[in-house]
A and B are shown apart, each in its own frame.
Chain A
């Protein structure tokens, strides 16, 4: 069909996926080395893995992958910022994993980093794809890696349970996506245009009802991933059971990738956008309300983080609705996309900062970690409690943290888009969220002795945690200084 170029791959094609290739090759080499080298070299291998991840930042930073506008057989667009984001998530997850593995020496280690790398690579392809087929394939590849990661703690029943639940839910969402893809492709066959390309979505919406039907399924599959209403129910279960580094990765990286895909799709539908705006706004409102109000009574820490993640998915959908409503204004859409990246980066710093603290408790799988366990944290570890306070304030959107600027920018864009009632819902949700974040802060500063699980100290992750809190505190101010010109 028309868009598929049958040309021979050029150097530019390969350069455009250089980061992904580097990730997968490193994973393969690490696996080989693990087999070939003696067992005592494993620690060195793990450190090499993290160093390699850091070095790979050079690919998107140097612009090596940005040789041509659209590349790799016209299936990918270029998004170095997301590649950096994915690598950062992988690095933070690896650092957290070191601490996690020190709690249980029996777990396989090198393989964890390998699976994580493959997962990150497919996530990058997923977010950068401009074709539904490639989107689906990379989505499945990423999700399967995540099933494995979720079950990493083999002897822990909650971890296995989380993985099985994730498998079932992920299967359903994958099936929905595939069903939608089939319908869209079928609609394309009858009209002679390949609708699986995002660039043809506008035409599809105009010409085919079957296409619209398929699109609903595709969106359903994506909403599963981002954790939006009505597909949010799996998140608390899966976050709770998964090993903490994996929970953090799921919370940030996987959500961000799905959000990027939703944005790219929303930006490609320049007609009939009012219906899309309505659908996205209703979903956003429901997600914000469900996420925030179910979190009010939650005392299990990891479930609370999942519910907070759901409400953040709601805020992201508000921005998506605003983006969709700027159908005739590509400049504003670009601004919205920049704000999405900013929001996700702010969310990444705060969420990883919190999960590093969650990961520092002595309990192996953290799945029963309760609010009460944080009692007296400020006495045991002032560093942990103060960074926790800063990061929670960021999630709650208190100035001058980065989270405040994220929410501020979302509200401004929603207001530009005329979604006034949605801004009202956002404010009610934010005010409600103050309660559960501040209860956590209050407990951390309480005098009473903690619960059953003992805080084991930040250990080696102390510097990372402090750095994350520092960035959360200051980075919004610096980024915001450069943004107003964009409006």
Chain B
């Protein structure tokens, strides 16, 4: 059985990549390419859910990772896969959001050269599955970079307004951030002689580098990875990218890819560099507060529904960073719950806001109105997504925000209060958007744009149901994620009260 899980883990990475290559290379017919794409999206999602179900602490090896593929392939040639309590929820998130984005793309009838579109998406989602399934830090980095070129091309070909500049801005920003993080990884490698996270952990536990060395390495990882997560002030690429990217890519990028930087911080940087993490926590908290409050205020000023969703995602990343900055098991666990919940809800929001904008031919929320009675299903999902992002109990985001705030209280009551202010801001812009779009009456300028009021089709409803179901399921049973997290974060020295 153990071998079966390992093959499943590898298949969840290999199948989407292979399907992507098949779509990119062979001139399949429309039907065949849709089928190939469907296989490429469903298999990793099913595999992720299956592994989630099978994941048990009993499967842990000494290294803290389950399903390690080293029993099948040994040697440095192939990437080493495995899951622990932290990578599992991210892996599941990648699977679910990947499937939802894929189904959404399949539901759209008007995508030009669908074969290319789906091929690029599959390469990106295969890379994401690989990034979270890898145990080797270099492979984590490489799988993450799989997304760069596909997103760039997709933005240039299928993107919205201002796509050429936005695509270039994204490419340069993300590469700079990734290279800074790579230098950090290289320094970690030089201190331990391996890129393999398990070996690194052992070597750093046996011979921790001095505080000065840690303090030197940590900012490369913090700011490099921070750029990937749109940490203030390196966030300016994110809103424009998400607004210009085609829907499915925006879902994958904002929903999953962006969580990678946080994941690396939690999985690699904090366990290996505990002293530096403590020292830099103050700086991180200050920048994260800027994300929460400043970007929250910027979000309030948005009138374009897509821009509002984009900015809100930047603002919510601040909460995750605050959870990390609190340097406690509770805060980090809250950050992971928040990452999970935000990934699902922001993907849903991007999907629905694109649907809305495409149907109404108008992006200004203030001009919209009365959509509730004309497209009840879309409105229902949209409201659910907004309620999830502002942290209504019952959705997983609630647990995330709650744990982060509780953890922050111990870190600093002032920071906790400012963080709570961010939540109020997000409630203001979220509920106001709902009121603008769905209630009241449409402006006459909206009618001039000749809106088409067709509700979500059944094919479009499936991905929405999938995302909402995941949000509610983990919202009701948060321990499906948190029990694994306790295991991982319990041993992180940065979270101990007195580490020196």
Our pick among B168, B179, B186, B194 for the contact of A438 (Cβ within 8 Å) is B168
Chain A 411-448, CB-CB to B under 8 Å as 1, else 0, gives 11001100000010001001100110011011001110
Q: Which residues of A lie under 8 Å from residue B153 when comparing CB positions?
A: 389, 441, 445
From B152, which residue of chain A is reached at the shortest CB distance?
A438
Q: Which residues of A lie under 8 Å from residue B189 when comparing CB positions?
A: 412
A192 within 8 A of partner (CB) = no
A399 near B141 (CB under 8 angstroms)? yes
The verdict on A484 contacting B186 (CB below 8 Å), with A431-B175, A441-B149 known, is no
A157 within 8 A of partner (CB) = no
B172 within 8 A of partner (CB) = yes
The verdict on A442 contacting B186 (CB below 8 Å), with A400-B146, A481-B75, A482-B77 known, is no
Which secondary structure dominates where chain A touches chain B?
Answer: helix
A386 within 8 A of partner (CB) = yes
Q: Which residues of B lie under 8 Å from residue A487 when comparing CB positions?
A: 193
Q: Which residues of B lie under 8 Å from residue A412 when comparing CB positions?
A: 186, 189-190
A398 near B145 (CB under 8 angstroms)? yes
**A179 CA / B208 CA spacing, docked (Å):** 54
B152 near A441 (CB under 8 angstroms)? yes
B182 within 8 A of partner (CB) = yes
From A485, which residue of chain B is reached at the shortest CB distance?
B76
The verdict on A399 contacting B146 (CB below 8 Å), with A435-B168, A442-B164 known, is yes
Chain B, 154-213, CB within 8 A of any chain A CB = 156-157, 164, 167-168, 171-172, 175-176, 179-180, 182-183, 186-187, 189-190, 193-195
The verdict on A481 contacting B152 (CB below 8 Å), with A415-B186, A431-B175 known, is no
Our pick among A382, A393, A411, A431 for the contact of B172 (Cβ within 8 Å) is A431
**A378 CA / B157 CA spacing, docked (Å):** 10
Chain A 463-487, CB-CB to B under 8 Å as 1, else 0, gives 0000000000000011011101101
B171 near A427 (CB under 8 angstroms)? no
B156 near A446 (CB under 8 angstroms)? yes
A408 within 8 A of partner (CB) = yes
Chain A, 367-417, CB within 8 A of any chain B CB = 378, 382, 386, 389, 393, 396, 398-400, 404, 408, 411-412, 415-416
Our pick among A399, A435, A484 for the contact of B76 (Cβ within 8 Å) is A484
B142 within 8 A of partner (CB) = yes
Query: Which of A396, A408, A416, A487 gathers most chain B CB within 10 Å?
Result: A408
B148 near A442 (CB under 8 angstroms)? no
A415 near B187 (CB under 8 angstroms)? yes
**A398 CA / B149 CA spacing, docked (Å):** 8
B149 near A415 (CB under 8 angstroms)? no
**A447 CA / B153 CA spacing, docked (Å):** 12
Q: Which residues of B lie under 8 Å from residue A485 when comparing CB positions?
A: 76
The verdict on A438 contacting B24 (CB below 8 Å), with A393-B149, A415-B187 known, is no
**A411 CA / B138 CA spacing, docked (Å):** 14
B54 within 8 A of partner (CB) = no
CB distance from A299 to the nearest CB of B (A): 15
A411 near B149 (CB under 8 angstroms)? no
**A451 CA / B459 CA spacing, docked (Å):** 41
Q: Which residues of A lie under 8 Å from residue B176 when comparing CB positions?
A: 427, 431
Q: Which residues of A lie under 8 Å from residue B182 when comparing CB positions?
A: 408, 411
Q: Which residues of A lie under 8 Å from residue B180 when comparing CB positions?
A: 427
B417 within 8 A of partner (CB) = no
CB distance from A170 to the nearest CB of B (A): 36
B32 within 8 A of partner (CB) = no
Q: Which residues of B lie under 8 Å from residue A445 when comparing CB positions?
A: 153, 156-157
B157 near A435 (CB under 8 angstroms)? no
B380 within 8 A of partner (CB) = no
Q: Which residues of B lie under 8 Å from residue A386 when comparing CB positions?
A: 24
Q: Which residues of A lie under 8 Å from residue B194 when comparing CB positions?
A: 484
The verdict on A442 contacting B179 (CB below 8 Å), with A399-B142, A481-B78 known, is no
Q: Which residues of A lie under 8 Å from residue B172 when comparing CB positions?
A: 431, 434-435, 438
Number of interface residues of B (CB under 8 A): 34
Q: Which residues of A lie under 8 Å from residue B24 when comparing CB positions?
A: 386
**A389 CA / B193 CA spacing, docked (Å):** 33
CB distance from B158 to the nearest CB of A (A): 10
B77 near A399 (CB under 8 angstroms)? no
Chain B 70-91, CB-CB to A under 8 Å as 1, else 0, gives 0000011110000000000000
B149 near A442 (CB under 8 angstroms)? no
**A435 CA / B164 CA spacing, docked (Å):** 12
Q: Which residues of A lie under 8 Å from residue B164 when comparing CB positions?
A: 442
**A423 CA / B194 CA spacing, docked (Å):** 20
Query: Which of B78, B148, B195 gathers most chain A CB within 10 Å?
Result: B148
Chain A, 290-346, CB within 8 A of any chain B CB = none
Q: Which residues of B lie under 8 Å from residue A435 when comparing CB positions?
A: 168, 171-172
CB distance from A148 to the nearest CB of B (A): 39
From B224, which residue of chain A is reached at the shortest CB distance?
A427
CB distance from B128 to the nearest CB of A (A): 14
B156 near A399 (CB under 8 angstroms)? no
**A153 CA / B195 CA spacing, docked (Å):** 51
CB distance from B339 to the nearest CB of A (A): 23
A416 near B190 (CB under 8 angstroms)? yes
Q: Which residues of A lie under 8 Å from residue B146 when comparing CB positions?
A: 399-400
A442 near B77 (CB under 8 angstroms)? no
**A462 CA / B228 CA spacing, docked (Å):** 37
B190 near A481 (CB under 8 angstroms)? no
**A439 CA / B141 CA spacing, docked (Å):** 24
Our pick among A411, A434, A446 for the contact of B186 (Cβ within 8 Å) is A411
**A424 CA / B156 CA spacing, docked (Å):** 30
Chain B 114-151, CB-CB to A under 8 Å as 1, else 0, gives 00100000000000000000000000011001101100
**A480 CA / B146 CA spacing, docked (Å):** 17
From B78, which residue of chain A is reached at the shortest CB distance?
A481
**A477 CA / B139 CA spacing, docked (Å):** 10
A442 near B152 (CB under 8 angstroms)? yes
**A399 CA / B186 CA spacing, docked (Å):** 15
Our pick among A382, A389, A408, A430 for the contact of B149 (Cβ within 8 Å) is A389
**A379 CA / B300 CA spacing, docked (Å):** 42
From A481, which residue of chain B is reached at the shortest CB distance?
B77
From B145, which residue of chain A is reached at the shortest CB distance?
A399
**A330 CA / B232 CA spacing, docked (Å):** 46
Q: Which residues of A lie under 8 Å from residue B183 when comparing CB positions?
A: 411, 415, 423, 427
Q: Which residues of A lie under 8 Å from residue B116 when comparing CB positions?
A: 382
**A122 CA / B142 CA spacing, docked (Å):** 40
CB distance from B28 to the nearest CB of A (A): 13
Our pick among B78, B168, B193 for the contact of A439 (Cβ within 8 Å) is B168
**A408 CA / B190 CA spacing, docked (Å):** 13
Query: Which of A393, A412, A441, A442 gathers most chain B CB within 10 Å?
Result: A442
**A416 CA / B191 CA spacing, docked (Å):** 11
Chain A 242-280, CB-CB to B under 8 Å as 1, else 0, gives 000000000000000000000000000000000000000
Query: Which of A404, A415, A438 gathers most chain B CB within 10 Å?
Result: A438
CB distance from A292 to the nearest CB of B (A): 12
**A233 CA / B76 CA spacing, docked (Å):** 42
Q: Which residues of A lie under 8 Å from residue B157 when comparing CB positions?
A: 378, 445, 447
**A481 CA / B79 CA spacing, docked (Å):** 9
CB distance from A421 to the nearest CB of B (A): 12
B76 near A442 (CB under 8 angstroms)? no
B167 near A442 (CB under 8 angstroms)? yes
The verdict on A427 contacting B179 (CB below 8 Å), with A398-B145, A438-B171, A487-B193 known, is yes
**A389 CA / B119 CA spacing, docked (Å):** 15
Contacts A404-B145, A411-B186 known; list 8 others, CB within 8 Å.
A396-B175, A398-B149, A415-B183, A430-B175, A442-B167, A445-B153, A445-B156, A484-B194
Q: List 14 A-B contacts (CB under 8 A).
A: A396-B175, A398-B145, A415-B186, A415-B187, A415-B190, A427-B179, A434-B171, A435-B168, A438-B168, A441-B149, A442-B152, A442-B168, A445-B153, A480-B76
Residues of A within 8 A of B (CB): 378, 382, 386, 389, 393, 396, 398-400, 404, 408, 411-412, 415-416, 423, 427, 430-431, 434-435, 438-439, 441-442, 445-447, 477-478, 480-482, 484-485, 487
In order of increasing CB-CB distance, the 9 nearest A-B pairs are: A481-B77, A399-B142, A399-B145, A431-B176, A427-B179, A434-B175, A442-B156, A481-B76, A445-B156
